[in-house]
Amino acid sequence: MTTTSLTGALLIGARDVTRDTTFVARRAVDGSALDIAFSCATPDDIRNACALADAAFDTYRHTSLSARATFLDAVATEIEALGEPLIERAHAESGLPVARLTGERGRTMGQLRMFASLLREGRCMDPRIDPALPDRKPMSRPDLRQIRMAVGPVAVFGASNFPLAFSAAGGDTASALAAGCPVVVRAHPAHPGTSELMGRAIRAAITRCTLPEGVFSLIGGPDYAIGATLVQDPAIMAVGYTGSRQGGLALGKIAAARPVPVPVYAEMSSINPVYLLPAALKADAETLGASFVVSLTMGAGQFCTNPGLILGVAGPDFDRFVAAAKAALETAPAPTMLTSGIRSAYEAGVERLAARPGIRALGRGPRGEDSACQAALFETDATTFAADPVMKEEIFGSCSLIVACPDIATLRTLTEALEGQLTATLHMKEADLEDARGLLPVLERKVGRILANAWPTGVEVCSAMVHGGPFPATSDPRTTSVGTGAIERFLRPVCYQDIPQALLPVGLRDGNQPPA
């Protein structure tokens, strides 16, 4: 079983590796240093981790789907066995509430078990068979069989805002392991202790399931060069990343410049527009204003799907919404932000937006402690918004811009000029359906998930979920990082022509295909 004792070591396959160069984690609430010095990975450590992953690849990808499912279930069980020390450490490093982290742990175990169930169903490898037609005229057809298989070792970058569900054992790791890809995780430097605990849970499951040690390694350190070196390693065949646009683009350039370029599946930037259609505003303006602020300030706004842009038709009902939002903002919570760097970037973004011509500050929330996020709300008109690209940039935290438009046609015009987004939300009533129908074709080109009468914060982990979207929401709009479809990023199709049954992958042999 796993241990809750932290050592600060790098987890290179089955070995604990310590280095003289170290760094410390800091309490999110006050910046004070936490116990334990964590080793910084050297280029040799990264090469060793990647070499172990490469050596493990062929063995691991040829494990049966049921054996791989058992392994993912075992990882979930080992995470559960970590108990409260995991939650306590994650709370100290991230400042996220214990209740939120407890739910996030459940989500982490749930997505591991979701992929285990997917593997047991067997359809995710998408076997396709076109049997031979020897008597076909004018030309016969050979026996052709296609199946998807793992691409190779995957580099995963832990996300700052989800220390459990998008970190060492999070969604990218779970989907890559499900695909049959060994994983090398670059732990986020803001929560190295949480990452070590999760990494040890994965390693315990590897031992329990007698898998090769190179199936998983965990490296860390605050230097950006660590991630660059990892992506440049020739053993790495794909990259999963959640973070800033700047970081995602930098990794994409590194991956594209390799002798053998590889894909970077980066989730980067989104302001998640929300549309308040006229009938919905007329019926529910005050309720919408209050619920908007709840969504905006949840988790200090440190969600990829935070509602950073509100659009509606100017008029008395829109004014009622704005007044309700302003009132709710006055008593909104001021939660701790994840790191001092994230808080500094948030405040700089708010100041930059406040200084733009044509922007009007509607209010700030309570200040809270030095590490807290003071929510910010701004307003502008459609013409000003259309002319200023700065107003369309994401500010990571509880900041949003409300845009008053003269009519529905302007809503559509503004939407056509937006960048790609993770989500778009339509608040509407029956009388708004025609207006919504006019917006949908544009939204379908711009976003990965379209919501009705809800708020975008909160991502359900299930088969139908899409957590992705056109650039810069993600680097590849064809993919999702949440839901069973996430496995597709780490699979590629291989076709077998006239290959004897005994040499075919098990899933392509006669009678081994899953039921439709």
Question: Is the distance from CB of 380 to CB of 312 less than 8 angstroms?
Answer: no
- pLDDT by residue for the chain (516 residues), tens only, comes to 555 689 999 999 999 999 999 999 999 999 999 999 999 999 999 999 999 999 999 999 999 999 999 999 999 999 999 999 999 999 999 999 999 999 999 999 999 999 999 999 998 999 999 999 999 999 999 999 999 999 999 999 999 999 999 999 999 999 999 999 999 999 999 999 999 999 999 999 999 999 999 999 999 999 999 999 999 999 999 999 999 999 999 999 999 999 999 999 999 999 999 999 999 999 999 999 999 999 999 999 999 999 999 999 999 999 999 999 999 999 999 999 999 999 999 999 999 999 999 999 999 999 988 889 999 999 999 999 999 999 999 999 999 999 999 999 999 999 999 999 999 999 999 999 999 999 999 999 999 999 999 999 989 999 999 999 999 999 999 999 999 999 999 999 999 999 999 999 999 999 888 876
Sheet holding 491-497, edge to edge: 128-130, 144-150, 491-497
Helices (H), 189-243: 192-208, 224-232
Question: Is the distance from CB of 89 to CB of 194 less than 8 angstroms?
Answer: yes
Closest C-alpha to 233, from 157, 149, 155: 155
Q: What per-residue confidence (pLDDT) applies to 514?
A: 84
DSSP string, 376-444: EEEEEEHHHHHH-GGGGS--SSSEEEEEEESSHHHHHHHHHTS--EEEEEEE--GGGHHHHHHHHHHHH
Q: What per-residue confidence (pLDDT) applies to 2?
A: 56
Closest C-alpha to 482, from 203, 174, 180: 174
**CB burial class (10 A; 0-12, 13-18, 19+) of residue 441?**
exposed
In angstroms, the Cα distances linking 437 to 313, 380, 431 are: 16, 26, 11
Question: Is the distance from CB of 383 to CB of 359 less than 8 angstroms?
Answer: no
Cβ of 406: how many Cβ atoms within 10 Å?
A: 13
Name the pTM for this structure.
Answer: 0.96
**CB burial class (10 A; 0-12, 13-18, 19+) of residue 486?**
buried
Q: What CA–CA distance (Å, rounded) separates 414 from 152?
A: 42
Q: What per-residue confidence (pLDDT) applies to 3?
A: 56
> What is the second-level CATH architecture of the domain 273-452?
3-Layer(aba) Sandwich (3.40)
Both tokens assigned to 225? 């060069």
Both tokens assigned to 21? 């160069």
Q: What per-residue confidence (pLDDT) applies to 1?
A: 52
Q: What per-residue confidence (pLDDT) applies to 512?
A: 86
Cβ of 357: how many Cβ atoms within 10 Å?
A: 8
**Which amino acid belongs to residue 143?**
D
CATH of 10-132+149-268+474-508, one of 3.40.50.720, 3.10.20.600, 3.30.70.100, 3.40.605.10: 3.40.605.10
Residues whose CB falls within 8 Å of the CB of residue 237, separated by 6 or more in sequence, listed in order: 151, 152, 153, 154, 181, 262
Q: CA geometry: angle at 191 spanning 353 and 201, to 5°?
A: 140
Q: What CA–CA distance (Å, rounded) separates 360 from 289?
A: 18
Q: What CA–CA distance (Å, rounded) separates 35 from 53?
A: 31
Q: What CA–CA distance (Å, rounded) separates 45 from 38?
A: 14
Cβ of 92: how many Cβ atoms within 10 Å?
A: 19
Q: What CA–CA distance (Å, rounded) separates 75 from 201?
A: 6
Question: Is the distance from CB of 156 to CB of 176 less than 8 angstroms?
Answer: yes
The CATH 3.40.605.10 domain(s) of the chain lie at: 10-132+149-268+474-508
Question: Is the distance from CB of 44 to CB of 19 less than 8 angstroms?
Answer: no
List the catalytic residues. 267, 304
Question: Judging by DSSP bridges, how do beta strands 264-267 and 399-405 pair with one another?
Answer: unpaired
Residues in the chain: 516
Q: What CA–CA distance (Å, rounded) separates 21 from 458?
A: 39
The CATH 3.40.309.10 domain(s) of the chain lie at: 273-452
Q: What CA–CA distance (Å, rounded) separates 261 from 344?
A: 35
Q: What per-residue confidence (pLDDT) applies to 245?
A: 96
